[in-house]
Amino acid sequence: MLLASSNLSSIPSVAHGFFTRNGGVSSGIYASLNCGWGTSDDPANVAENRRRVVARLGAAVDSLLGLNQIHSAEVITVTQPWSRNAQPKVDAMVTNQAGIALGVLTADCTPVLFADRKNPVIGAAHAGWKGAFSGIVEQTLKAMLELGATQESIVCAIGPAIAQASYEVGGEFREIFLRKSEDNSQYFIPSLKAGYFLFDLRGFIYRILFHSGIQDINMLENDTYIEENTFFSYRRATHRREADYGRQISAIMIRE
């Protein structure tokens, strides 16, 4: 039902999980732990799935927060829980409050979870290519520092996402990255299709964290596109012309 990162697991005050698509009550294309309110799944099923997530985290039912994710570099500092209808339009959250679970939804994009080993500060970011390119990772780290985290004690975990072998993009996509820096060429390798490339999203995010001074980074190697029985995938659903797709959740919380 969930995957864990070794570096985050070593912090006793923090609970976390990269939840898979398994262990829920949804059916059909949403089978089974679909946690996305924005899908066309039965809301009662989504609610029960999210209840199961917080139970695994050891949190209260209403403590799992979500976002209206917009592929931005916007971050919010959480001081108290909000309702489903009040979800902010941002792509990352940070908090120093115990008992509040920060949750991000993905279906090929990269979930990144953050925690400070010495100070009670955590973060969670939804990092698709647009968010990563525009600075969601750096802005999450900045917000954590403003809450009292210290750079040398922050650890990060990069969760399941679409792998480079499954992420084919056009030449114009690669040019966007090269215009920003020629060094970004390292994240692209030629595809078998002429004029196309394979993009290493997780590698791109890893280097952002590394160049931001984060020394403890763990990256899970799961490929959401290929591992159909374990993960939802937007790209896989698109290629199959399915009407919708489920979302898996990744969450982190300071224990009370």
Topology at the third CATH level for domain 2-149+223-254: CNF1/YfiH-like putative cysteine hydrolases (3.60.140)
Judge whether 249 and 256 are in contact, CB under 8 Å. no
How far is Cα 29 from Cα 224, in angstroms, rounded to an integer? 15
Residue 76 pLDDT greater than 90, yes or no = yes
**How does pLDDT run across 119-141, given as a tens digit for each residue?**
999 999 999 999 999 999 999 99
**How does pLDDT run across 90-129, given as a tens digit for each residue?**
999 999 999 999 999 999 999 999 999 999 999 999 999 9
**Percentage of the chain with pLDDT > 70?**
100
pLDDT for the residue 103: 98
pLDDT for the residue 240: 97
pLDDT mean across residues, the chain: 97
HSE-CB at 216 with a 13 A cutoff on CA atoms is: 19
pLDDT for the residue 195: 96
pLDDT for the residue 92: 98
pLDDT for the residue 241: 97
pLDDT for the residue 148: 98
pLDDT for the residue 61: 83
**How does pLDDT run across 150-181, given as a tens digit for each residue?**
999 999 999 999 999 999 999 999 999 999 99
pLDDT for the residue 161: 98
List beta partners, residue 43: none
**How does pLDDT run across 180-194, given as a tens digit for each residue?**
999 999 999 999 999
pLDDT for the residue 60: 87
- Give the strand order in the sheet containing 110-116: 75-78, 92-95, 122-127, 110-116, 154-158, 216-219
**How does pLDDT run across 26-69, given as a tens digit for each residue?**
999 999 999 999 999 999 999 999 999 999 999 988 899 999 99
Question: Residue 217 — very low, low, confident or very high, per pLDDT cuts 50/70/90?
Answer: very high
* pLDDT (average), residues 8-30: 98
The separation between the first and the last C-alpha atoms of the chain, rounded to the nearest angstrom, is: 23
Per-residue H/E/C for the chain: CEECCHHHHCCCCEEEEEECCCCCCCCHHHCCCCCCCCCCCCHHHHHHHHHHHHHHHCCCHHHEECCCCCCCCCEEEECCCCCHHHCCCCCEEEECCCCCEEEEEECCCEEEEEEECCCCCEEEEEECHHHHHHCHHHHHHHHHHHCCCCHHHEEEEECCECCHHHCEEEHHHHHHHHHHCHHHHHHEEECCCCCEEEECHHHHHHHHHHHCCCCEEEECCCECCCCCCCCCCHHHHHHCCCCCCCCEEEEEEECC
